[in-house]
Each structure stands twice: as C-alpha cells, then as structure tokens.
Amino acid sequence: MKRRSKTLGVAVAAAVLAWTIGLANPLVTGTHWSLTTVAFAQEEATAAVEGFRSARFGMTEADVRKALMKDFDIAEDDIVSSNNSLEKTTSLVINIDEIIPDSGSAVAGYIFGYKSERLIQVNIIWGSENEATNNAMVLVRDLVATANILRRYFMKQGFPSESMITNTPLEGGSVLVFRGIDDQGRVAKLKLNISPGSVNAETGEEEQTVSLILNYIVNPSEPDIFKVEEGQF
C-alpha cells in the first residue's frame, strides 16, 4: 500500500489464506511499515491500497514470486503454491518472522484471481497456529499491541474519514480494529480474533486461540473467483 497525492506450519495456513474476503470465511512487508510517499508539499495525501510492498495488484504469479524473494530475502523454495477448489483461485504462501518487533511469526498469502490470474488480495495472519508458545496471555498481549500499532499507522495514511471503521466489536468475540477504503474502492482491513480453544488434557483448562488478520483487497464487492452463472444449470 502507498500514499499518493490528490493530483497524482504452511500447509494448513495455505488453506486458510486461500479464501478471499468475499465469502463467508473471510479471514504485509519485511521490516518497515512506512508507505512510499509521493505527496507534494502543502498537498493533502490520500491512501492508495495497491498491494503489499513490491507485490502489487495486477501482477502475475511470476512477478509476485520475484517480489517476495526481494522483499523478504527468501529462496523460491520457501514459497508454497496452493489452490482453492471452491473459488478456483491460486495462492502463494510464505512464512514471515517479526514484521513488527514482538509480533511473532506470521503467514502471508498472495491470492490470484480465477479469470485474470493476477494478484487480487494479500492476507497476513499472526496467531496461535503460528506460535510455539503455551502462554496464551502473552500472545494476546503482543497481538493486541500489534493491532494498536497498525491501527494507529493506518489512521494516518489518508483514508477518507467516511470509509474508516475502528475498534468495532463483531460477533463471536472478534474486533474490527480498522477498515479503510481508498478512492478506488480497494480495502485495507485489520481484524483481531480471540476465542475459546481446545481443553488442555493436562490442566483441564480451556486455552484461548488468538489471531490478527490483515487483508489488502482489490475488489471486495466483486472478487475474481469462480461463480456459477445464472442459467447455467
């Protein structure tokens, strides 16, 4: 994502990340969070959601692979390809460590459209499934801190005020930490999920699961996924 002026455990994670935000199962880059700024002096900057770091919406899979190796200093073998049998989309999935200090490991998925075969969405997930820790409270604390850091960051990026939603409770204990829509309808969305998990066989206590999910979406209302056309059957 960049700013512009007005004038201008991978196998399981891959299956989760392959779902786009347009369906009922909705679920960013290297070591810095600054946007590329092209605003001129005394001009009001506006947010433009264009992808994540060097991976931009509209890129081919080959181009995104190159971007990931450059952005995260990884080998091509570190990139896992995944297919979504329902949406007929493909994804590239990678593991990322410490995007933000103390945020823990994350899994990032780059989704390519069914018809276009171009990048249409990026999902980044932090949480229990990625962390080898038994201290749920520490994980919750760290992810809440990361959520607050990112909310504060996104609120300064020039999204139209009428498009922004912050810290809104959702069903099931989730919180919509931030949602912003740029002037082309593209979305940046951050959601925190804290929910009861399985019962620990040794302690008998219920363990919480927690995740923080960041989505960059090119077209949330009409995602490029497989759909049966009216009248086909």
Residue 183 is classified by DSSP as T
CA distances from 41 to 6, 7, 34 (A): 12, 12, 18
Looking at the DSSP bridge assignments, the partners of residue 84 are 89
The whole-number pLDDT of residue 130 equals 53
Which is it for the CA torsion 139, 145, 151, 157, positive or negative?
negative
When pLDDT is averaged across residues 89-97 and rounded to a whole number, the result is 95
Structure-token pair, residue 34:
């600054």
Q: Which residues contact 120 (CB under 8 A, 6 or more apart)?
A: 20, 57, 89, 111, 112, 113, 217, 218, 219, 223, 224
- Residue 67 near residue 54, CB atoms below 8 Å: yes
Nearest to 186 by CA among 159, 157, 154: 159
pLDDT value of residue 118: 98
pLDDT of residue 201: 67
pLDDT above 50 (res 22): no
Longest dimension (CA), the chain: 62
pLDDT band at 229 (very low <50, low <70, confident <90, very high): confident
Q: Which of 39-43, 59-63, 124-128 is predicted with the least confidence, judged by mean pLDDT?
A: 39-43
**66 and 20 in contact (C-beta within 8 Å)?**
no
Q: What is the DSSP letter of 37?
A: B
**What is the mean pLDDT of the segment spanning 50-57?**
96
C-alpha dist (Å) from residue 123 to 85, 92, 120, 153, 207: 18, 10, 10, 18, 25
pLDDT for 111-142, tens place per residue? 999 999 999 999 999 986 555 455 667 778 88
Cα–Cα distance for residue pair 18/36, rounded to 1 Å: 27
**Residue 159: how many other CB atoms lie within 10 Å:** 22
Distance separating alpha carbons of residues 11 and 34, to the nearest angstrom? 30
- pLDDT tens track for 75-91: 999 999 999 999 999 99
Confidence of residue 101 (pLDDT cuts 50, 70, 90): confident
Mean pLDDT of the chain: 80
**Span 16-25, average pLDDT:** 42
**Closest listed residue to residue 190, CA positions, set 232, 153, 161, 227:** 153
CA distance 178 to 174: 12
